[in-house]
Amino acid sequence: MELVLLLCAVSLLHSCEAQESSAVTPVFVQKGEDVLLNVTIADVREEDTVTWRFNKTVNLVRFLPGNLGTKVSDDYSGRIEFLVKYSVKLKNLQEADSGVYTAVVSGDKEKQITEYKITVQDPVSPVKLSVDSVSNSSDWCNLTVSCRAQDSHINSTFRCDTHTHTCSQEGGERSQVTPSAADLHVYLSNGYIICNHSNQVSCTKDIKIIENVCPRHAVHEPSTNAISVGAGIGIGISLFLLCVAAAAAAAAAFRYQNTGQYERKHMENTVYEVPQVGPTTLPQSPTVEVIGLSPTSTYCLVGPHTGSVDSSTTRGTTLPESLYAQVDKPARSLNK
């Protein structure tokens, strides 16, 4: 029975410790930067004192009861900036400032209301990615790289296939925690080998393009810009051809219009031979010998008959007012 009670007590103690640890807020701060220590409470009485402590023992600042002001520890003089009620800013943190910061209300009894776990870190050192070796064949390309930081380094091998145009990292991504608690990581992403050195407050990278190391084995991915440029060129050519076709059609229409106007004007300006009024009696044409000449047709207007008419001949006959007769124009006589 006593053993059971002991086990229950241990279990309850662990549960309380777990609840207390879960209330801690982890904060990472780069060396030389500031940190905000915020408090949000509504049940602090005027006679209570609120104190910020470092590692449970060192008092940073105390807010005295009854609006009597604040009292800053000598070790933190000039490093505390007061914000809203009970919240402060601690300036210029160094590695020695890493630890647990708690806000405690002291009255009839002491009660912890806020807790932060502050970790101060240096920025990570620059990183260097270098290619140690490259081996090629018609089917593949192998390369080995080194990812180096100030206090650590890792190696990794990559293999690219000619036929599938894909690359892979042997053994998968490589990473390790450096002595300065930073992460050193080398991996493959979209045709790039990336060496990453980071912690919670800073990050540095170095990158190699696989295509520059293994030109024939690089992963070929279509470029959006190239597609856009090609589409733009195609559209431009199509528009140019349409403009040329439209210009040719306009020129043809203009030429056709001018030709039609010319033909109409030509027809309107053509003058045909005006018939001449000749005598009512036709002269006898001399008989001539015509060689190689064809007669030219002439129209002669014959008016109404003005002479005497035999009544016996014309009785019952209506004479036309006018008639046309075709006569042959005498040809020029040639001297024999």
End-to-end CA distance of the chain: 172
Mean pLDDT across the chain: 73
| Residue 200: half-sphere exposure toward Cβ, Cα within 13 Å | 11
Of the candidates 70, 51, 68, which has an alpha carbon nearest to the alpha carbon of residue 60? Answer: 51
Can you give the pTM of this predicted structure?
0.54
Residues 63-79: tens digit of each pLDDT: 998 778 899 999 999 99
Write out the H or E segment, with its range, that includes residue 10. helix 2-22
Residue type, 97: D
The answer to whether 119 touches 26, Cβ cutoff 8 Å, is yes
The three-point CA angle 324-330-334 to 5° equals: 170
**Cβ neighbours for 153, distance < 8 A, ≥ 6 positions apart:** 146, 147, 184
Residues 95-134: tens digit of each pLDDT: 999 999 999 998 778 889 899 999 999 999 999 999 999 9
Q: Which two tokens stand for residue 236?
A: 């431009």
Burial class (CB in 10 A: 0-12, 13-18, 19+), 179: exposed
Residue type, 85: K
Write out the H or E segment, with its range, that includes residue 53. strand 49-54
Helix, strand or coil for residue 183?
A: strand
The answer to whether 49 touches 65, Cβ cutoff 8 Å, is yes
Pick from 7-16, 153-162, 244-253, 309-318 the range whose average pLDDT is largest.
153-162
Q: Which two tokens stand for residue 13?
A: 């103690």
Q: Return d(Cα 264, Cα 260) in angstroms, integer.
A: 6
CATH number belonging to the domain at 21-121, selected among 3.90.105.20, 3.40.1280.10, 2.30.130.10, 2.60.40.10: 2.60.40.10
**What residue ranges of the chain are covered by domains with CATH 2.60.40.10?**
21-121
Instruction: Give DSSP secondary structure letters for 76-103.
Output: GTTTEEE-STT-EEE-S--GGG-EEEEE
Residue type, 290: V
Q: Is the pLDDT of residue 5 over 50?
A: no
Instruction: Give DSSP secondary structure letters for 139-161.
Output: SEEEEEEEEE-SS-EEEEEEEEE
pLDDT for residue 91: 96
Name the more confident of 160 and 281.
160
26 DSSP β-pair partners? 117
159 DSSP β-pair partners? 142, 168
Q: Return d(Cα 288, Cα 328) in angstroms, integer.
A: 13
Q: Which two tokens stand for residue 132?
A: 């140690």
